[in-house]
Amino acid sequence: MTLLTFFGCAFTAYGPSLAIFFGFIAPNPQLVILLVSSRAESGLNMVAKHPKSVYNRSGYAFAAGMGFGLMFGIISYITQLVQSTGPGILMCISCPGISLYFVSAITTCILILHHSVWMMISFTGFTMRSYPRILWVIVSHYGASYLTLLNASPTVTLGCVYSIMGNIVLLLASIAIVMVDVRNLQQKLA
Query: In angstroms, rounded to a whole number, what is the distance separating the alpha carbons of residues 51 and 22?
Result: 23
Question: Is the Cβ–Cβ distance between 117 and 174 less than 8 Å?
Answer: yes
Residue with Cβ nearer other proteins (19 or 138):
19
| Binding map of other proteins across residues 129-158, x = CB under 8 A, - = no contact | ------------------------------
Binding residue for other proteins, selected from 53, 85, 145, 184, defined by CB under 8 A? 53
Virtual torsion, Cα 127, 22, 76, 86, nearest 10 deg: 170
- Examine residue 187 and tell whether it contacts other proteins (CB under 8 A): no
Residue 126's identity, in one-letter code, is F
Residues 6+ apart with CB under 8 A from 45: 51, 56
Determine which residue in the list 96, 127, 168, 184 makes contact with other proteins, applying CB under 8 A. 96
Size of the site for other proteins (CB under 8 A): 43
Per CB under 8 A, does 90 bind other proteins?
yes
Residue 165 Cβ vs other proteins, minimum distance, rounded to whole Å: 16
